[in-house]
Amino acid sequence: MASAAVNFYSRQFLLGHVRSILDFYTPAAFDPTGGLYQNYKDDGSIFAPERRHLVSSCRMVFNFCKAYELFGDEVYRAFAAHGFRYLHDRHWDPGRSGYHWTLKEGHHPGDQTNHCYGLAFVMLCCAAASELGLERADQSLDQVFELMEQHFWDSAAGVYADEATPDWSRVSAYRGQNANMHSCESLLAAFEATGKVHFLDRALTVARTVTVDLASSSDGLIWEHFTPELKIDWDYNRDDPKNLYRPWGFQPGHQVEWSKLLMTLYDHRSEDWMPRRAQELFDRALAICWDPTHGGIFYGFGPDGRICDADKYFWVHAEAIAAAARLYQHTESPQYLDWYNRLWQYAWEHFVDHQHGAWYRVLRENNQKYSDEKSAAGAKCDYHTIGACWDVLRHLP
């Protein structure tokens, strides 16, 4: 779709785009028996209504919290509150002090594995709910932080572990940056919501460990997988570069997402290394992974610099848009505004569904869709796109 008249870097455009995404979800999202639906076809119709995932339950609440923050529509607040109650009534298991990773038939425990990644999104959800003054939000925020500290925090390593058995009796040997990246994101949100400095302190420790200390062993870029001793595991999921949460290879989307987070951290604890690392991560990711033929960002590349997954994922582009805006605002360098507009132009032409609303989830190298499933439990609910627009909006001059 032509976009010559679109000013992507304007409040009017960003607010309108967020509203268009919400207009896709709102008509069908509310499940009167509890929670918010998570599986949508391209046209907005629901499939697999019983399938629920902790990550999507949290992200849907985040979406409607930010919607209420931006527009003040009480419907959005009601949806957020409804989803937040579901998180406590269905996902939370007081008997074992853990959150169900998945639910069967919408209400019954499925996978009960404890994931730091999941707890990070519970924290993000609670922080957003706290800003709306939702019931139990502050209490739940402190509770999930204590769970993460008690069971996953490795003070000697300066990172969180990833996974534990349902009864917390055994913690997996795997260490990964993805759970730590989202923990940093959630800790920053918790600090912004409450002003409690221990959240910011922990976010700083995680960010420095991942983006400086660990990245020094991989030529300044952020690798995904590590041993308990935080040695790089170059072979973990080598045969599974499309793994949803633990893909093999360098992820350009995570380089740019860390770029955005470092600039957020810099807002609160300004240290010179933060914008410098943010620029390095963004610049190198785009230099390696921008597709010169079809446009867009390739999903992954190996240690040799060769592309290992040429698909185009919606979230990678949303995070790159937010990072480019933050870097432009900090440096005033036109190259970052150019990237911002180029990324939006690509997304506008290929990811945004101009008929039904919201973004397609994943495209082939040639920008063709894989299926008619726009959003799926655990995989997508447009939290990245709404979050990116919200982040740019709150930092516009």
Positions marked active-site: 254, 384
Give the integer Cα–Cα distance in Å for 387 and 71.
14
Query: E strands, the chain, where?
Result: 40-41, 52-53, 92-93, 98-99, 102-104, 108-109, 114-115, 153-154, 159-160, 163-164, 175-176, 225-226, 300-301, 307-309, 312-313, 362-363, 373-375
Cβ–Cβ < 8 Å for 308, 302: yes
Task: Retrieve residue 272's tokens.
Answer: 């010179």
Cβ–Cβ < 8 Å for 376, 313: no
Q: Got the DSSP string for 91-127? A: IEETTTTEE-SEEETTTEE----EEHHHHHHHHHHHH
Q: Which residues, 6 or more positions from 362, have their beta carbon under 8 angstroms from its beta carbon?
A: 311, 312, 313, 314, 369, 370
Give the integer Cα–Cα distance in Å for 389 and 340.
12
**CA 118, 53, 74: angle at the middle one, nearest 5?**
95
Give the integer Cα–Cα distance in Å for 199 and 345.
36
